[in-house]
Structure 1
Amino acid sequence: MDEPAGEVRDDRRQSETVLGVFPAQPRSRRPQPQRTLYGALDLGTNNCRLLIARPAAQGFRVVDAFSRIVRLGQGLTSGGRISPAAMQRTLSALEVCAAKLQRRGVTRLRAVATEACRRAENGRDFLEAARVRSGLELEVIDAEEEASLALYGCAPLLDRSKRHAAIIDIGGGSTEIVWLSHDTEASEAAQLPDSPRVRAWHSVPLGVVDLAERFGGHEVGRSTYDAMVAEVMAEMRPFVERYGLPEWASRGALQMIGTSGTVTTLTGVHMELPRYDRTRVDGAYLSLELVGRLSEQVRAMGYRARVAHPCIGRDRADLVVAGCAILEAFWRLCPAEGLTVADRGLREGLLYLMMREDGAWSAQADTGP
């Protein structure tokens, strides 16, 4: 998922943030998980992001965070390879992450890479360079696991009064859609413990980086924007129609959750924040009419105005319009009542799974707060 404005976000204010997760009854496999510091690193096509956290009551407390826009996938669509410049930018960010992990004393880490490393001809060379430079062993996950992790990360925002939900995770190189439901009908898809049932998932091979490179991201005219929307709709339509998502949306039974820098940026613009504030954005709700107005506002403001906006900035100014086109394509196909905004995703999902595996919340029940 792509990131809100700012080249580097090293937000120590998050040290006071407790993020909720699924209720769980895990097995205890490791001793004293409450004393363990966990790290989750997500290297995407556009961003390198790290969270360091320890378990808290039915969730976890973030003690350190880092995010940098690295554009690892820049030029990948046309050349098929990670460029030397993109590689160096990303390796520098990974060195910062490695230093934080060491300084904090993290003992449980999972570091994953997504679409850019899946697609690049020289992806293995990059992973080896990352290991040598930073000491980090990056695991390339497939699109199915990426979608599943996004679900785990967004679980606390699910509205169980809606029978169904669709999570759309707009990334730099791809967009993941997860369809899930709260009923107990049989499904061929995997069922997550203590969670709604995952019905189906789909990875759309379009993200903000490749769309912006092909269509342009500076001054985007209405006809160009509509062409982006049409291309994304063509990719999404078979999936959403196969599973009847438009019908559920029209009946008011589908919750739409957006997890990406696009939706958090639009929310920051709507709130007129002088500086991006995760605590205000995460969990916000936008009507679909408002999402449409905000998307058009961002498209029409022009590149310089987007650079100057405190919730967009130079590093996202040429990408956010493409993200708006992806989001608009989805809500045109599935016009739900509104959009739940999630500033959370893969990293939170990784943390939850590690802590559940270690019996973190069972340990709390046994030993008390």
Structure 2
Amino acid sequence: MADISPPEKKRDRSRKPRGKKSPSRPPAKESRPSGERQGAEPATPKIWRRPPHRQFRQAYAAIDLGTNNCRLLIARPSGENFVVIDAFSRVVRLGEGLAQTNMLSDVAMDRAVGALKVCAEKLRRRNVHLARSVATEACRRAGNGAAFIERVKKETGIVLDIISAQEEARLAVLGCHILLEDGIGPAMIFDIGGGSTELVLIEAGGPVPRILDWQSVPWGVVSLTETVGHEMPGAAARASRYAAMRKLVADSFADFAERVKSAQTPELRLLGTSGTVTTLASLHLDLPQYDRKAVDGLIVPSDSMRDISQRLSTMSPKERRRLPCIGNERADLVVAGCAILETIMDIWPAPRLGVADRGIREGILRSLISSDAEGIETQAALHKNKRNEG
């Protein structure tokens, strides 16, 4: 088996708050979806709010239903950050077969609903004050996406916002930008999903970075794998398939790549959030099993990530399944992730890559906590003014 663990290992262990479990509470309900479409300006998110008299030890929840995974975070504010008190993640492959049929299959929807039922049960056991749940590329593209959203509401009580690609990019940036290396000039943040990939050029500095440019393409690890087709045996066939993946992604990002050339500086910074980058980072560290604390905040030489990507692309599915942190769930999808990652590193050739095991869910939580704090301050000021007037 090929050695894919380059020796250089430099990482940042900061910003990993831990929390305690909270007592059980009555179930939290959510509201109707916003009905956003891809490319539209983000609509005001519809969130469920617990009545004021029950706001004790406030908890906030975020659910991200993607093309490949269903993820949940429940957290409480802690100073300028938050402490996670419950979490859940499951591979559901909601977008399986979508590239061929433009519809969500019954089997895929069943898997997603099963995972969301687990999320709903966790919400029932926590003191959730505000909650927001989002669905991304698979539901944006599927002809039966709206019907699936209604089914989820009926069977789980969870109501999903189908967010635009622009909102998806914004939330990913908001969730992980604090892991960017210090530096001068614009930086690039990317999110490789199951059904799409977002690239965002930002101006860092301040609590919220300013988005200078962004692009979303319909290539994620599931959609790219299914479009290019199954692997054929033999080194030449694998090389040809990988090259085809790289070309599809590069062509889709061509206009964006040309636009951001002028923003490149001698001190390029690149940060990625996705299962692809965390998996490759685990291989870089030669971990026997995935360890979020070791990976989140890791800084890896870009050459090491390229080397790992190219070696994985030459392996057979059986060889990849034997590798720690890949296994059966990622063996057939990781090559597409590698093709997307290498293309991104071509567009923004930073010498190092920051790795984030955080993204959309954390962005949702930060948005909820921030907006709620502003609302509470406004209500307090109004109440004070009324008392003074009285």
Category of TM-score, reference length = shorter chain: 0.7 to 0.9
- 1:105 to 1:154, Cα distance in 2 relative to 1, 3 A: same
1:121 deviation in Å?
0.4
Q: Distance in 2 between matches of 1:134 and 1:210?
A: 27
Provide the secondary structure at the position in 2 that maps to 1:154: helix
Aligned equivalent of 1:279: 293
Deviation at 1:158, TM superposition (A): 2.2
The structure that has the greater radius of gyration is: 2
CA distance in 1, matches of 2:230, 2:330: 10
Deviation per CA, 1:258-294: give whole Å up to 9, x if none. 1100000000011111110011101111111111111
Contact 1:171–1:207 (Cα < 8 Å) also in 2 = yes
Deviates more, 1:299-308 or 1:289-298: 299-308
Q: Do 2:181 and 2:354's aligned partners in 1 also have CA atoms closer than 8 Å? A: no
- 3-state SS, counterpart of residue 125 of structure 2: helix
Q: What's the counterpart of residue 148 of structure 1?
A: 170
| The 10-residue stretch of structure 1 (120-129 or 293-302) with the greater mean CA deviation from structure 2 | 293-302
Partner of 1:342: 356
Distance of 1:182 and 1:344 partners within structure 2: 18
Give the structure-2-normalised TM-score: 0.79
Once the two structures are TM-superposed, the CA of residue 217 in structure 1 deviates from its matched residue by 5.4
After the TM superposition, which residues 1-369 of structure 1 pair with which residues of structure 2 at under 5 Å, given as runs? 16=18, 35-182=57-204, 194-216=207-229, 218=231, 221-244=238-261, 248=264, 251-359=265-373
Q: Aligned-pair distance for 1:211?
A: 1.1
Q: By how many angstroms is 1:244 displaced?
A: 2.1
For 1:240 and 1:69, how far apart are their aligned partners in 2? 31
Instruction: Count how many residue pairs are aligned between Structure 1 and Structure 2.
Output: 329
Distance 1:121 1:311 in 2: 34
**Contact between 1:44 and 1:114, CA under 8 Å: does it hold in 2?**
yes
Q: Is the 8 A contact 1:217 1:319 kept in 2?
A: no
Seen in structure 2, the aligned counterparts of structure 1 residues 156 and 217 have a Cα distance that, compared at 3 Å, is farther
What is the CA–CA distance in structure 1 between the aligned matches of 2:225 and 2:191, rounded to whole Å? 17
For 2:229 and 2:66, the matched residues in 1 are separated by 21
Deviation at 1:33, TM superposition (A): 6.9
SS at match of 1:243: helix
Q: Indicate if the aligned counterparts of 2:242 and 2:339 stay in contact, CA closer than 8 A.
A: yes
Q: What's the CA shift for 1:309? A: 2.1
Shift of 1:17: 6.2
Report if aligned partners of 2:192, 2:221 keep a CA contact under 8 Å in 1.
Answer: yes
What residue ranges of structure 1 are gaps of 5+ in the alignment? 1-13, 19-29, 184-192
What letter matches 1:221 in structure 2? R
Deviations 1:189-239 (A, max 9, x none): xxxx73232101111111111111122455671121011111111111211
Q: CA RMSD in A?
A: 2.4
What is the CA–CA distance in structure 2 between the aligned matches of 1:278 and 1:218, rounded to whole Å? 30
Alignment partners' CA distance in 2, 1:277 and 1:33? 34
Indicate the SS of the match to 1:172: coil
Match for 2:259: what amino acid?
R
Identity %: 47
Between the aligned partners of 1:93 and 1:303, the Cα distance in structure 2 is 26
Partner of 1:189: none
Q: In structure 2, how many angstroms separate the alpha carbons of the residues matched to 1:273 and 1:205?
A: 31
Q: Distance in 2 between matches of 1:229 and 1:68?
A: 28
Contact 1:33 1:55 in 2 (8 A): no
Secondary structure class of the residue paired with 2:329: coil
